[in-house]
Amino acid sequence: MPNHEIYMRRCLELAQLGLGTVSPNPMVGALVVHNNKIIGEGWHRKYGAAHAEPNAIADVFNRYPNAADLLRASTVYVSLEPCSHQGKTPPCADLLIKHQVKKVVIACRDPFEQVNGRGIRKLQEAGIEVIEGVCQEEAAFVNRRFFTRVQKQRPYVLLKWAQTANGYFAPTDHTQRWITGPLAQRLSHQWRSQEDAILVGANTALIDNPQLTVRHWQGKNPKRIVIDKTLSLPQHLHLFDQTVDTIVFNAEKSEWQENLKYIALENFDLYLPQQLLYQLHLMDIQSLVVEGGVKTLRLFIDAGLWDEARVFEGDVYWEDGIEAPRLPMPPETKQQVGKDLWTTYFNQDAFSTFKRFV
């Protein structure tokens, strides 16, 4: 009797290799197993490129001269329901049917309307045995960004900030003072490379003049987003250097200048975080890091429009300062990063949507 969970967890490991490169698609991993031996592996590597299932099958053909015969007697494991529609690539369900695989084991269904249940039904109608629900919750969590975009029509929102050991976020005199060490900074840049966009408010842009890039890590730069209602920010700031796609949400104008896009919002002060997230959803931005400052972070916290928070706590103490935001739930995990403490929170209200799905 095969241990489906062992194979599916390998699929989930493979799926996460696509973090930061496949959005707005989901991360998917796949295995081909013959007589309890893995004979092929694949994952979705890049948006617009081949999905996990064809990569796993290609791996079998690259390794075995009798691949066609092996596939007919094999079980395919895949972390998300095989697609059943023509997109940028052909339907994966059709490929599995073409090779007459014996069985397909799926972690969870794809919530996307054009797939949800249809890929499974297509396989079953072709006579392929389908088992679903193996490591279901783990698979949905891996694809929490994709599930949020599809089910809530907004990006997955990740809050991130640093605070002192006694809970201060920034000096009251608006000067710059580092709270965390170099390891935390490198990890922050790694996180940036994994998400689609990063957002700051006008005060942070003016005081810190951030680049919002991944210069301390290898990977793609996220789209930069700044909230600047009256377009008061000076053009010499790093945000306007045209090196990275940058979006300025404002109340004055809509205009496109090479890599710089201005988007005017009507009724700017009314439901601002909702308007921002809706506009980003229309641009296929699947995940968003909100890096501050306190006013901007609280904007999303007060609206309940956040999914995950990653908070660094340094080992420094300040006599006074601007207090860091507080979240109304206990932390999920805590981890030491050099001299700093990294704490993760999850908004359970936000997560309830895809938990009901699985």
Catalytic (active-site) positions? 53
Query: Is there a contact between 153 and 285 (Cβ–Cβ < 8 Å)?
Result: no
Tell me the residue length of the chain: 358
Rounded to the nearest 5 degrees, what angle is found at the Cα of 204, between the Cα atoms of 199 and 208? 115
Closest CA to 111 of 135, 90, 136, 128: 136
Token readout for 250 is 């404002």
24 upstream amide cis, omega within 30 of 0: yes
Closest CA to 112 of 155, 149, 157: 149
Token readout for 333 is 């995990």
Closest CA to 322 of 159, 158, 160, 166: 166
**149 backbone φψ class: left, alpha, beta (φ>0; ψ -120 to 50):** alpha
Specify the residue for token string 């002060």.
269
Neighbours of 358 (CB within 10 A): 16
| Sign of the CA dihedral with 229 first, then 195, 306, and 266 last | positive
Give how far Cα 40 sits from Cα of 35, 91, 126, 245, Å: 13, 19, 22, 38
Give how far Cα 74 sits from Cα of 10, 35, 101, 102, 121, Å: 17, 7, 6, 5, 19
Q: How far apart are the first and last CA of the chain?
A: 25
